[in-house]
Structure 1
């Protein structure tokens, strides 16, 4: 790993230097979101499902952007966007989360404040409606970073966070996915949860495709008018997970990280075990931070190499855009995850409000908007 990072410092940090000289002025604020990455292909989504996902992403973007436009904090914007996705049955977080092998919804979340590098995380929640709010409460109202299980639930309730019956999180498509997975394993299917709505009653809610194979996480990264960065992530984990499994989302530095010292905020989605082993979010920020701390002389010395990398390209400006530090750092780290055998993606907010998406999957539900710009949402890997 150290050798890989040393190589990254030599190659990846040098490449964006020329592009940096032409970088636009930092926007007043910026926001990016994701709703999970994985095998998401056009032939697997009906036109109605495609439109439903894009509309949901747009609503989450609008919620976060409204906070930022009004002068609110990056933390508030992240929470606003994530909470909308936690309430949306299309995403594997909150209502719409996948089921464990025992037929429960166990929810994880994390949030991090860039200026202070304070962080909060929760794992294994079953009754707290908005896990992202619980993670923020851990950060702001406790001396701890991570709380799990019953203790986390007790803490959230004591802080006045909304509690719901576990049946609130139930969705028909996620239950059918659990049944299919357990039958494929040759394992018994648990009884339908008490209080769960009937299939007919659930039909009115938007549903993900039944053959969907994606990694369940929602997340947001934001930069506010005061220059503060924040990141937040929330997930239901893996279908049919057992033994109290916890993935990368609540592990600070793996699935979630933000640091104004590095000029970086990251939220990840994918095979959590690999993202933990690769310390994905922290590595991306370390690379961006190292680039930020390069001397003017170092940048000047690397200009020629960056220009050479794009020389002769039909779209030289586009080439330099792809080589900017935020995108390069994100892509390097996702390549590292792939080298370990993992799949997934990241959203990254870098210096000057630069937004990057990187994935080694066929799709990732995602969106971005900056002050004064038009919002954009995308699903498939080949979309800009």
Structure 2
């Protein structure tokens, strides 16, 4: 688990309205926005120790990603690296710390998309791959496909030199206890969107899915256009929440198309989350960046773990402000 306490945390343990507003000013430099899931994250629901743990992890992820962007690392590689960090952190529902299915096992999904050419890669139903986002990027970069699932995806991973890991490595004591009590944890999916030094966009999302899911259920996270999308002409988007609603409404792709057609990023994102999804009682949120570096982070739940950094603004936050 990430425990590196950074000075940035002191700037804003929770995002202030002023910080949220300044995040929407166009910038010519790199930008990174992350989320760690949306859900029942209200003040008092977390202990002070847990709050500090989340703030520290989010800050470390944002700072690391921004450092790589400043070094000139390409957008999609920064997305993969930051999500790998979060997949290794048991605080989140992705990789280590993933929720379990009705069978008591972890099944992992991920997707990534590059905005410069709209190439994408996605994987679902993984049980023995340590970093689903890295495999998704491998599908994007080294295969002729966009999405691979279950055993076939793992066979591809192993053929490309990735190690097989025991499923037990993903299941922490916290998730095992939730399984035995049949508690559903509705937050923890992780996502990253960036604009790199060249102005290129990329997005990625990784998740363990819904607690106690059955029948091979797949949510929006590995579905390009639903949970993840990136197009330099529109925006980069990563979603979190009740995946069925994001799939039905093509949320990530819809937002990018609306921006491409001239709508303001923040206004379009707010309309999708607070109007389109609310009418259907669909819970969740999203993070997005457009080609001008404008940022949107709407959510209709009690909270969403999130953070962002550009040349002017740095913060992490959890609760509704």
TM-score normalised by structure 1 residue count: 0.75
Matching of residues 298-313 of structure 1 within 5 Å = none
Contact 2:108 2:126 in 1 (8 A): yes
Aligned position for 1:380: 319
Match of 1:220 among 189, 192, 196: 192
Aligned position for 2:251: 280
Give SS of 1:214's match: coil
The Cα of 1:214 is off from its aligned counterpart by 2.5
Instruction: Give the Cα separation in 1 of the matches to 2:26 and 2:149.
Output: 42
The Cα of 1:25 is off from its aligned counterpart by 5.2
Aligned position for 1:369: 309
The Cα of 1:150 is off from its aligned counterpart by 0.4
Question: Larger % of helix: which?
Answer: 1
Q: CA offsets, 1:185-234, max 9 Å, x none? A: xxxxxxxxxxxxxxxxxxxxxxxxxxx84233100000011111000000
Aligned position for 1:102: 103
Match of 1:333 among 248, 269, 272: 272
Contact 2:199 2:291 in 1 (8 A): no
The Cα of 1:267 is off from its aligned counterpart by 0.1
Contact 1:106 1:126 in 2 (8 A): yes
Matching of residues 91-240 of structure 1 within 5 Å = 91-181=92-182, 213-240=185-212
Q: CA offsets, 1:310-343, max 9 Å, x none? A: xxxxxxxxxxxxxxx1211111111212211210
Contact 1:40 1:362 in 2 (8 A): yes
Give SS of 1:44's match: coil
Aligned position for 1:85: 86
Which segments of 5 or more consecutive residues in structure 2 lack a partner in the other structure? 1-23
Contact 2:92 2:189 in 1 (8 A): yes
Aligned position for 1:295: none
Contact 1:235 1:249 in 2 (8 A): yes
Which segments of 5 or more consecutive residues in structure 1 lack a partner in the other structure? 1-22, 183-211, 293-324
| 1:265 equivalenced with 2:218 (yes/no) | no
Contact 1:74 1:224 in 2 (8 A): yes
Contact 1:364 1:379 in 2 (8 A): yes
TM-score normalised by structure 2 residue count: 0.90
